[in-house]
Structure 1
Amino acid sequence: MMHSTDARADDAFSADLLRGHTDTIVLATLRRGDRYGFEIYKAIRDATGGAHEIKEATLYATYRRLSHDGLVEAYWGDESQGGRRKYYRITDAGRAVYRRNVAAWVATRDVIDALLDEPGPRTPTSTKGTDS
């Protein structure tokens, strides 16, 4: 049984691990199409079934940084759709950074997976033998 302090430690660790990837997460969301700020927040929350949310203040700082670095472009939407919203679109430079960040994540994940792999079968479908 997991104690509540264990659950909080797991949540904090997951949030810390994800925090360093906020730019990549936002760029991934924008690869699917232009979105306004709160729409990006909802897409991230919904993609995790509500298990992870990035604070709006963190996201808006990320939008400013990505815009400043030329990885996204901001523009004002059509006011006929309601309130005036600032939309973001990924640039070619943003796509290139996204691809590099994903490649770095995959390489890092592979190293961590290898380092954390315990000897012996891990799943019922594993073909690994036991160590002798």
Structure 2
Amino acid sequence: MQPTEPAAGDAFSADLLRGHTDTIVLATLRRGDRYGFEIYKAIRDATGGAHEIKEATLYATYRRLTQDGLVEAYWGDESQGGRRKYYRITDAGRAVFRRNVTAWVATRDVIDALLDQTDPRTSPSPKGSDR
């Protein structure tokens, strides 16, 4: 069976981002306090709509980050409409964000190096090789 070229819509893999939801939320909160749906929109808009995190996933993330002390939640004082729960990153959250970004960059560099290897079937043989 021959491999096929991925369709344009398949080129982006949400699976690669799934394990980084906490870091993505922390990155969004580094720009300032936001309420839940505002974080969702910021993530969607940052990717031009190419990536959306399901709201249920985000709200589970907010709970986990709050329980871990990486974000603080508080109720807004809106005078109109329903009250909104806002989230702010803590100093511990900033530290975790920095560690996660460092790990991501190291991982990306390794993957880039592995993907940038020359295909031995198409590259010229080294001098003196019996290939």
Within 5 Å, which residues of 2 pair with 1:97-112?
A: 97-112=96-111
Distance in 2 between the 1:58 and 1:48 partners? 18
**Unaligned runs of at least 5 residues, structure 2:** 127-131
Q: Tell me which structure has the larger Cα radius of gyration.
A: 2
Q: Which residue matches 1:10?
A: 11
**Runs of 4+ more than 6 Å apart:** none
Q: Which residue matches 1:124?
A: none
Distance in 2 between the 1:36 and 1:98 partners? 19
Structure number with the higher helix fraction is 1
Q: Which residue matches 1:21?
A: 20
**Unaligned runs of at least 5 residues, structure 1:** 121-129
Q: CA RMSD in A?
A: 2.2
Distance in 2 between the 1:5 and 1:116 partners? 17
Partner of 2:72: helix, strand, or coil? strand
Q: Which residue matches 1:53?
A: 52
Distance in 1 between the 2:81 and 2:89 partners? 23
Aligned length: 119
Q: Which residue matches 1:79?
A: 78
Question: Aligned partner of 2:11: which letter?
Answer: D
Deviations 1:58-87 (CA, angstroms, capped at 9, x unpaired): 000000000000000000001215320000
